[in-house]
Every structure is written in structure tokens, then in C-alpha cells.
Amino acid sequence: NAGVTQTPKFQVLKTGQSMTLQCAQDMNHEYMSWYRQDPGMGLRLIHYSVGAGITDQGEVPNGYNVSRSTTEDFPLRLLSAAPSQTSVYFCASSYSRGPRIPIFGPGTRLTVT
Amino acid sequence: KQEVTQIPAALSVPEGENLVLNCSFTDSAIYNLQWFRQDPGKGLTSLLLIQSSQREQTSGRLNASLDKSSGRSTLYIAASQPGDSATYLCAVEVGANSKLTFGKGITLSVRP
């Protein structure tokens, strides 16, 4: 099992550019989520999905889009990058039943200039 | 809105000390509470999960307790070691949808 993989590990964007952060898991987890981590702010939920074809907004969804066409993949799209989106982004997945312990990916460090 | 607080933000202790990390939350209607560890530049690793019906969980030198009525949890680390140095985050899940609300974390440094 590779667990939760995220690509790229690092990315620098210019203001206004768009990009997609990739997240994949091979554990057949139903639930997947995207968080951002900023200094002094902790982790905040951006979007989440309870299964293929189903997504919903978290605490800070503005400027981000998601889709879930397969169980394995949950990409996060930045439509028009802004300096306020400079952050570390973490993807997580878990089963829908049981103790629901999330498995986190290693993160993507994004800088928007 | 659920808020999770962890105080202090940083803690430094000598090796061998037993220590307690605190976490408080504002809404007692939680599904579960979890403690995570984060090493610098890395993702989060789950340490302990306490279901809302449970009072504590133990794993090795770690023991986590939950008091829903008072909105508090503690993570007890016995006989701390330099390898325990990391940031410890508390998170609560409200509702059965795996949405977590995190505290800002406590950065622990264990001095040899």
C-alpha cells in the first residue's frame, strides 16, 4: 500500500495562474478531505468527499474546486491563484465506518508570488 | 461553531519527565476526538482516537482522556524522550462525516 500520495511536493505559482494538486489513495477509503495549514492557524478544512461523485464545502472553500470521479483520486484545483493561498496543503482519507482514523498525505507546499 | 484550543503553544521539558498536553473544545456534541503527531515538514500521524462514548485510550507511553461534559481532553506522555519532540494536534469530529476541526497544536521539545 502506498497510502495517501500527493503531488507535487513543492510548487511556486504566479498570481492568477491555475493548477491542480493531486491526491490519490489505494486503501479503498470512502472519505477524502483537503486541508490547508497556515502558521498560527492550524489545519482548516477546504473541501471533503464522502464517496465518488459526492463533494461538499468545508470551512475555507473559496478559490478552490474539487471533483471525485473515482474512489481513489481527489484533486484540488486552484482557479486563479492568490498570495493568500500560499500554504501547505494536506489530503487525508478514511473509511466511512469504524473508528475512522484518517491517513494523511505528506503535503504540498505552495507559494504564490 | 466548534472551536478547539490548545494551550500553551510550545512546551520544553527535560528527558524523562511525565507530561500532560491539554485540549479544550466548545461544543460537546462530538463524534470522536483524536490526537495527532506532526514532525517538521511532514504530514500528520494519528496517535489515539477516543470515541464519544469512551473516556480514555492508551497506546504504549501515551494515554488520552476525554471529558465531553467539560469539553476537555488530555494527552499524557510518560517518561518523555527526545524522540517525542514534535507538534501534537488535537481534533474533534462533529457528525459522522469525517470533518475534523483542529486545534493549533502544541510544539513539544524534550531536552536530552
Q: Which tens digits make up the pLDDT trace of A21-45?
A: 999 999 999 999 999 999 888 899 9
pLDDT of amino acid A42: 86
Write out residues in chain A with pLDDT < 50, as ranges: none
pLDDT at A98: 79
Over its C-alpha atoms, chain B yields an Rg (Å, rounded) of 13
From the list B41, B46, B103, the residue facing A102 with the nearest CB is B46
Given a cut of 80, whether residue B105 has pLDDT beyond it is yes
- Find the CB nearest A40 among B43, B49, B104: B104
pLDDT in tens, B28-46: 999 999 999 999 999 999 9
DSSP-based three-state secondary structure for A22 = strand
Query: If DSSP codes are grouped into helix, strand and coil, which group holds residue B84?
Result: helix
Structural contact between residues A20 and A88, judged by C-beta atoms closer than 8 angstroms: no
Cβ pair B42:A107 closer than 8 A: yes
CB contact under 8 A, A99 and B89: no
- Chain B residues touching residue A5 (CB < 8 angstroms): none
Angle B36-B52-B89 (CA atoms, 0-180°, nearest 5)?
A: 15
Q: A27 — contact with chain B (CB < 8 Å)?
A: no
Residue of A nearest to B100 (CA): A45
Nearest beta carbon to residue B103 from set A42, A103, A106 = A42
Quickly state the pLDDT bin for B1 (edges 50, 70, 90). Answer: confident
Cell triple for B79: 517518561
